[in-house]
Amino acid sequence: MICYTVQGLVGCDKVKTVTFHDLVRLPVAREYEAAFRKATGVSLMIVPPDGLRRGAVGGGQNPFCALVSQTPEGCRACAETESVTLQRAVLKQVPQQVYCYAGLTIMAVPVLIGGQHVATLLSGQVLRREPTQRDFAMVAKMLGDGLSVGAEKKARLAYFATPIVTAKRFQAIVELLTVFAQQLAESATRHIIALSRDEPRPVALAKEFVQAHAKEELTLAQVAQCAHVSGYYFCKLFKKTTGMTLTEYIARVRIEKAKTLLLDPLVRVSEVVYAAGFGSIPQFNSLFKRYVGMAPGQYRSTVRTDLSR
Protein backbone atom coordinates (compact mmCIF):
# COMPACT_ATOMS: atom_id res chain seq x y z
CA MET A 1 0.00 0.00 0.00
CA ILE A 2 1.12 3.57 -0.76
CA CYS A 3 -0.15 6.37 1.47
CA TYR A 4 -0.80 9.91 0.18
CA THR A 5 -3.42 12.60 -0.57
CA VAL A 6 -4.01 14.02 -4.06
CA GLN A 7 -2.36 17.35 -3.33
CA GLY A 8 0.72 16.17 -1.49
CA LEU A 9 0.66 12.51 -2.46
CA VAL A 10 0.13 11.42 1.15
CA GLY A 11 -2.90 9.02 1.99
CA CYS A 12 -3.57 5.30 1.19
CA ASP A 13 -3.74 3.66 -2.22
CA LYS A 14 -2.99 0.30 -3.75
CA VAL A 15 -0.65 0.23 -6.74
CA LYS A 16 -2.18 -0.94 -10.01
CA THR A 17 0.00 -3.69 -11.45
CA VAL A 18 0.61 -4.37 -15.12
CA THR A 19 -0.48 -7.91 -16.02
CA PHE A 20 0.82 -10.33 -18.63
CA HIS A 21 -2.29 -9.75 -20.72
CA ASP A 22 -1.71 -5.97 -20.61
CA LEU A 23 1.79 -6.61 -21.87
CA VAL A 24 1.04 -8.90 -24.81
CA ARG A 25 -1.76 -6.64 -26.04
CA LEU A 26 0.82 -3.98 -26.84
CA PRO A 27 1.53 -3.80 -30.62
CA VAL A 28 5.27 -3.61 -29.90
CA ALA A 29 5.17 -7.16 -28.45
CA ARG A 30 4.18 -8.81 -31.74
CA GLU A 31 6.25 -6.39 -33.79
CA TYR A 32 9.41 -7.22 -31.88
CA GLU A 33 8.76 -10.96 -31.89
CA ALA A 34 8.53 -10.89 -35.69
CA ALA A 35 11.54 -8.57 -36.09
CA PHE A 36 13.69 -10.69 -33.74
CA ARG A 37 12.90 -13.87 -35.67
CA LYS A 38 13.63 -12.19 -39.00
CA ALA A 39 16.90 -10.59 -37.85
CA THR A 40 18.40 -13.52 -35.93
CA GLY A 41 16.77 -16.59 -37.46
CA VAL A 42 15.78 -17.59 -33.91
CA SER A 43 12.14 -17.86 -32.83
CA LEU A 44 10.82 -16.05 -29.77
CA MET A 45 7.87 -16.57 -27.45
CA ILE A 46 6.53 -14.23 -24.76
CA VAL A 47 5.07 -16.43 -22.02
CA PRO A 48 3.36 -15.74 -18.67
CA PRO A 49 5.48 -15.90 -15.50
CA ASP A 50 3.92 -19.26 -14.62
CA GLY A 51 5.40 -20.70 -17.84
CA LEU A 52 2.06 -21.87 -19.24
CA ARG A 53 1.64 -21.15 -22.94
CA ARG A 54 -1.97 -20.02 -22.73
CA GLY A 55 -2.11 -16.52 -24.24
CA ALA A 56 1.59 -16.57 -25.20
CA VAL A 57 2.80 -14.53 -28.17
CA GLY A 58 5.05 -16.02 -30.87
CA GLY A 59 6.49 -19.48 -31.34
CA GLY A 60 9.38 -20.94 -29.36
CA GLN A 61 10.39 -24.18 -31.12
CA ASN A 62 12.59 -24.82 -34.12
CA PRO A 63 11.56 -27.57 -36.61
CA PHE A 64 13.79 -30.22 -35.00
CA CYS A 65 12.29 -29.69 -31.55
CA ALA A 66 8.78 -29.66 -32.99
CA LEU A 67 9.41 -33.09 -34.51
CA VAL A 68 11.05 -34.82 -31.55
CA SER A 69 8.60 -33.36 -29.04
CA GLN A 70 5.96 -35.57 -30.67
CA THR A 71 7.73 -38.62 -29.21
CA PRO A 72 7.23 -39.59 -25.54
CA GLU A 73 10.90 -39.20 -24.56
CA GLY A 74 11.37 -36.06 -26.63
CA CYS A 75 8.25 -34.44 -25.21
CA ARG A 76 9.30 -35.20 -21.64
CA ALA A 77 12.87 -33.97 -22.14
CA CYS A 78 11.82 -30.78 -23.98
CA ALA A 79 9.21 -29.93 -21.34
CA GLU A 80 11.73 -30.50 -18.55
CA THR A 81 14.37 -28.26 -20.15
CA GLU A 82 11.88 -25.47 -20.81
CA SER A 83 10.49 -25.73 -17.27
CA VAL A 84 13.96 -25.54 -15.70
CA THR A 85 14.87 -22.50 -17.80
CA LEU A 86 11.68 -20.64 -16.90
CA GLN A 87 11.98 -21.51 -13.20
CA ARG A 88 15.51 -20.15 -13.07
CA ALA A 89 14.38 -16.91 -14.74
CA VAL A 90 11.58 -16.55 -12.18
CA LEU A 91 13.79 -17.25 -9.17
CA LYS A 92 16.91 -15.33 -10.18
CA GLN A 93 15.22 -12.58 -12.24
CA VAL A 94 18.17 -12.39 -14.64
CA PRO A 95 18.69 -13.91 -18.13
CA GLN A 96 19.13 -17.70 -18.10
CA GLN A 97 20.47 -20.20 -20.62
CA VAL A 98 20.05 -23.97 -20.44
CA TYR A 99 21.36 -26.83 -22.61
CA CYS A 100 18.91 -29.56 -23.52
CA TYR A 101 19.51 -33.29 -23.99
CA ALA A 102 20.14 -32.72 -27.72
CA GLY A 103 22.89 -30.16 -27.14
CA LEU A 104 20.70 -27.18 -28.00
CA THR A 105 20.52 -23.99 -25.94
CA ILE A 106 17.44 -21.98 -25.03
CA MET A 107 17.38 -18.56 -23.38
CA ALA A 108 14.89 -17.03 -20.95
CA VAL A 109 14.85 -13.32 -20.09
CA PRO A 110 12.40 -12.06 -17.44
CA VAL A 111 10.31 -8.93 -18.00
CA LEU A 112 10.19 -7.04 -14.69
CA ILE A 113 7.89 -4.13 -13.88
CA GLY A 114 8.21 -2.51 -10.47
CA GLY A 115 10.15 -5.55 -9.29
CA GLN A 116 7.33 -7.90 -10.33
CA HIS A 117 7.92 -10.69 -12.87
CA VAL A 118 5.23 -10.06 -15.49
CA ALA A 119 6.41 -12.20 -18.43
CA THR A 120 9.38 -14.15 -19.80
CA LEU A 121 11.00 -13.91 -23.22
CA LEU A 122 11.74 -17.51 -24.24
CA SER A 123 13.98 -18.00 -27.27
CA GLY A 124 13.94 -20.81 -29.77
CA GLN A 125 16.63 -23.48 -29.58
CA VAL A 126 20.07 -22.94 -31.12
CA LEU A 127 23.33 -24.89 -31.42
CA ARG A 128 26.54 -23.41 -30.03
CA ARG A 129 28.83 -25.46 -32.31
CA GLU A 130 28.74 -27.49 -35.51
CA PRO A 131 26.79 -30.73 -34.90
CA THR A 132 28.22 -34.10 -35.86
CA GLN A 133 26.62 -37.35 -37.04
CA ARG A 134 27.64 -38.83 -33.69
CA ASP A 135 25.68 -36.09 -31.90
CA PHE A 136 22.52 -36.95 -33.80
CA ALA A 137 23.04 -40.68 -33.31
CA MET A 138 23.09 -40.13 -29.54
CA VAL A 139 19.87 -38.10 -29.72
CA ALA A 140 18.16 -40.75 -31.87
CA LYS A 141 19.24 -43.45 -29.39
CA MET A 142 17.78 -41.50 -26.49
CA LEU A 143 14.47 -41.19 -28.32
CA GLY A 144 14.36 -44.96 -28.82
CA ASP A 145 11.53 -46.20 -31.02
CA GLY A 146 9.63 -42.92 -30.80
CA LEU A 147 10.65 -41.85 -34.30
CA SER A 148 9.58 -43.71 -37.42
CA VAL A 149 12.12 -44.09 -40.24
CA GLY A 150 10.52 -41.20 -42.13
CA ALA A 151 10.30 -38.99 -39.06
CA GLU A 152 13.92 -39.72 -38.13
CA LYS A 153 15.03 -38.63 -41.59
CA LYS A 154 13.13 -35.36 -41.23
CA ALA A 155 14.51 -34.88 -37.72
CA ARG A 156 18.06 -35.41 -38.97
CA LEU A 157 17.65 -32.76 -41.66
CA ALA A 158 16.06 -30.34 -39.17
CA TYR A 159 18.80 -30.99 -36.59
CA PHE A 160 21.58 -30.07 -38.98
CA ALA A 161 19.57 -27.04 -40.17
CA THR A 162 19.30 -25.66 -36.63
CA PRO A 163 20.91 -22.19 -36.33
CA ILE A 164 24.52 -22.32 -35.10
CA VAL A 165 25.34 -19.33 -32.92
CA THR A 166 28.91 -18.33 -32.10
CA ALA A 167 29.78 -17.11 -28.60
CA LYS A 168 29.93 -13.49 -29.76
CA ARG A 169 26.63 -13.67 -31.61
CA PHE A 170 25.01 -15.52 -28.72
CA GLN A 171 25.98 -12.73 -26.33
CA ALA A 172 24.55 -10.18 -28.74
CA ILE A 173 21.25 -12.10 -28.84
CA VAL A 174 21.10 -12.20 -25.02
CA GLU A 175 21.74 -8.44 -24.88
CA LEU A 176 19.09 -7.83 -27.54
CA LEU A 177 16.53 -9.83 -25.56
CA THR A 178 17.48 -8.00 -22.36
CA VAL A 179 17.04 -4.61 -23.98
CA PHE A 180 13.67 -5.66 -25.38
CA ALA A 181 12.53 -6.91 -21.98
CA GLN A 182 13.33 -3.47 -20.55
CA GLN A 183 11.66 -1.63 -23.43
CA LEU A 184 8.58 -3.83 -23.18
CA ALA A 185 8.31 -3.03 -19.49
CA GLU A 186 8.67 0.70 -20.21
CA SER A 187 6.03 0.54 -22.97
CA ALA A 188 3.57 -1.24 -20.69
CA THR A 189 4.09 1.33 -17.94
CA ARG A 190 3.57 4.25 -20.32
CA HIS A 191 0.52 2.55 -21.81
CA ILE A 192 -1.46 2.56 -18.57
CA ILE A 193 -1.15 6.35 -18.22
CA ALA A 194 -1.70 7.18 -21.90
CA LEU A 195 -4.91 8.66 -23.31
CA SER A 196 -7.37 6.28 -24.94
CA ARG A 197 -10.06 7.02 -27.52
CA ASP A 198 -12.39 4.59 -25.72
CA GLU A 199 -12.33 6.46 -22.41
CA PRO A 200 -15.22 8.60 -21.14
CA ARG A 201 -14.71 12.29 -21.88
CA PRO A 202 -14.25 13.31 -18.19
CA VAL A 203 -11.44 10.77 -17.80
CA ALA A 204 -9.69 11.95 -20.97
CA LEU A 205 -9.97 15.59 -19.87
CA ALA A 206 -8.56 14.72 -16.46
CA LYS A 207 -5.59 12.86 -17.95
CA GLU A 208 -4.80 15.75 -20.27
CA PHE A 209 -4.98 18.20 -17.37
CA VAL A 210 -2.74 16.09 -15.11
CA GLN A 211 -0.13 15.53 -17.82
CA ALA A 212 -0.02 19.28 -18.56
CA HIS A 213 0.19 20.32 -14.89
CA ALA A 214 1.92 17.36 -13.20
CA LYS A 215 4.74 19.44 -11.75
CA GLU A 216 2.26 21.74 -10.01
CA GLU A 217 0.25 21.06 -6.85
CA LEU A 218 -2.94 19.31 -7.88
CA THR A 219 -6.17 18.78 -5.97
CA LEU A 220 -9.13 16.53 -6.64
CA ALA A 221 -11.36 19.61 -6.87
CA GLN A 222 -9.19 21.11 -9.62
CA VAL A 223 -9.15 17.97 -11.73
CA ALA A 224 -12.87 17.26 -11.28
CA GLN A 225 -13.68 20.85 -12.25
CA CYS A 226 -11.57 20.45 -15.39
CA ALA A 227 -13.48 17.25 -16.16
CA HIS A 228 -16.82 19.09 -15.65
CA VAL A 229 -18.17 16.57 -13.11
CA SER A 230 -18.51 16.37 -9.33
CA GLY A 231 -15.60 15.10 -7.27
CA TYR A 232 -17.56 12.08 -6.02
CA TYR A 233 -18.68 11.01 -9.49
CA PHE A 234 -15.22 11.65 -10.93
CA CYS A 235 -13.48 9.42 -8.37
CA LYS A 236 -15.80 6.50 -9.11
CA LEU A 237 -15.59 6.96 -12.89
CA PHE A 238 -11.80 7.36 -12.98
CA LYS A 239 -11.20 4.28 -10.82
CA LYS A 240 -13.64 2.17 -12.84
CA THR A 241 -12.12 3.27 -16.16
CA THR A 242 -8.41 3.15 -15.40
CA GLY A 243 -8.12 0.78 -12.45
CA MET A 244 -6.29 3.55 -10.61
CA THR A 245 -7.24 6.34 -8.26
CA LEU A 246 -6.40 9.88 -9.29
CA THR A 247 -3.57 10.01 -6.76
CA GLU A 248 -1.90 6.94 -8.23
CA TYR A 249 -2.30 8.28 -11.75
CA ILE A 250 -0.63 11.56 -10.78
CA ALA A 251 2.22 9.63 -9.15
CA ARG A 252 2.71 7.50 -12.27
CA VAL A 253 2.78 10.52 -14.57
CA ARG A 254 5.37 12.20 -12.36
CA ILE A 255 7.47 9.03 -12.18
CA GLU A 256 7.53 8.78 -16.00
CA LYS A 257 8.63 12.42 -16.17
CA ALA A 258 11.36 11.71 -13.62
CA LYS A 259 12.61 8.70 -15.59
CA THR A 260 13.03 10.92 -18.65
CA LEU A 261 14.88 13.58 -16.65
CA LEU A 262 17.19 10.96 -15.14
CA LEU A 263 18.52 10.17 -18.61
CA ASP A 264 20.44 13.47 -18.48
CA PRO A 265 23.59 12.82 -16.39
CA LEU A 266 24.02 16.56 -15.79
CA VAL A 267 20.73 16.86 -13.92
CA ARG A 268 20.98 16.10 -10.21
CA VAL A 269 18.45 13.83 -8.56
CA SER A 270 17.33 16.69 -6.29
CA GLU A 271 16.55 18.75 -9.40
CA VAL A 272 14.60 15.84 -10.90
CA VAL A 273 12.45 15.60 -7.77
CA TYR A 274 11.02 19.08 -8.00
CA ALA A 275 11.00 19.29 -11.81
CA ALA A 276 8.79 16.19 -11.89
CA GLY A 277 6.39 17.61 -9.30
CA PHE A 278 7.29 15.73 -6.11
CA GLY A 279 7.25 17.51 -2.77
CA SER A 280 10.36 16.02 -1.19
CA ILE A 281 13.32 13.78 -1.92
CA PRO A 282 12.33 11.00 0.58
CA GLN A 283 8.82 10.89 -0.91
CA PHE A 284 10.25 10.70 -4.43
CA ASN A 285 12.73 7.95 -3.52
CA SER A 286 10.00 5.89 -1.86
CA LEU A 287 7.51 6.18 -4.72
CA PHE A 288 10.13 5.69 -7.43
CA LYS A 289 11.36 2.45 -5.90
CA ARG A 290 7.79 1.28 -5.40
CA TYR A 291 6.76 1.83 -9.03
CA VAL A 292 10.02 1.18 -10.85
CA GLY A 293 11.48 -1.53 -8.64
CA MET A 294 14.80 0.21 -8.01
CA ALA A 295 16.17 3.45 -6.57
CA PRO A 296 16.51 6.50 -8.88
CA GLY A 297 20.32 6.33 -8.85
CA GLN A 298 20.29 2.63 -9.75
CA TYR A 299 17.80 3.30 -12.55
CA ARG A 300 20.03 6.03 -13.96
CA SER A 301 23.11 3.77 -13.86
CA THR A 302 21.24 0.85 -15.44
CA VAL A 303 19.85 2.91 -18.32
CA ARG A 304 23.19 4.59 -18.99
CA THR A 305 24.90 1.19 -19.10
CA ASP A 306 22.33 -0.11 -21.59
CA LEU A 307 22.69 2.96 -23.81
CA SER A 308 26.49 2.66 -23.87
CA ARG A 309 26.47 -0.92 -25.19
Mean pLDDT of 169-175: 90
Q: Is residue 193 pLDDT above 50, yes or no?
A: yes
| DSSP letters spanning 240-294 | HHHSS-HHHHHHHHHHHHHHHHTT-TTS-HHHHHHHTT-S-HHHHHHHHHHHHSS
Considering the domain architecture, whether residues 95 and 220 belong to the same structural domain is answered as no
Q: Left, alpha or beta for 110 (phi > 0: left; psi -120 to 50: alpha)?
A: beta
Contact 276, 33 (CB under 8 A): no
Mean pLDDT throughout 114-125?
Answer: 87
Instruction: Report pLDDT for 309.
Output: 55
For 161, the domain range is 21-166
The predicted pLDDT at position 305 comes to: 62
Check whether residue 57 and residue 157 sit in a common domain: yes
The overall average pLDDT reported for the chain is: 85
**Per-residue confidence band for 288, with pLDDT thresholds at 50, 70 and 90:** very high
pLDDT at 66: 83
The mean per-residue pLDDT over the stretch 30-53 comes to 86
In whole angstroms, give the CA distance from residue 22 to residue 193. Answer: 13
Averaged pLDDT, 84-91: 86
| Whether residue 262 sits in one domain with residue 131 | no
Cα-Cα-Cα-Cα dihedral sign, residues 84, 87, 88, 94: positive
Is residue 302 included in any domain, yes or no? yes
CA–CA dist 119, 111 (Å, integer): 5
pLDDT at position 308 over 60:
no
Model-level pTM?
0.75
The answer to whether residue 201 scores a pLDDT higher than 90 is yes
- Whether residue 150 sits in one domain with residue 35: yes
- Ranges 91-105, 128-142, 151-165, 218-232, most confident: 218-232
> Tell me, what's the pLDDT at 11?
44
Q: What interhelical angle do 246-261 and 167-191 show, nearest 10?
A: 140
- What is the count of structural domains for the chain? 2
| 272 and 198 housed in the same domain | yes
Question: What per-residue confidence (pLDDT) applies to 306?
Answer: 60
Determine, yes or no, domain membership for 183: no
Does the structure show a pLDDT above 50 at 117? yes
Instruction: Provide mean pLDDT across the span 269-273.
Output: 92
Q: What is residue 1's predicted lDDT score, i.e. its pLDDT?
A: 39
44: domain CATH number is 3.30.450
- Selected residue with higher pLDDT from 15 and 245: 245
Is 127 found in the same domain as 201?
Answer: no
Q: Taking residues 12-26, what's their average pLDDT?
A: 74
What is the CATH number for 226? 1.10.10.60
Would the pLDDT of 192 be above 50?
yes
Q: Looking at the structure, do residues 225 and 151 belong to the same domain, yes or no? A: no
pLDDT-based confidence at residue 3 (cuts at 50, 70, 90):
very low
pLDDT of residue 231: 93
Taking residues 7-18, report their average pLDDT: 56
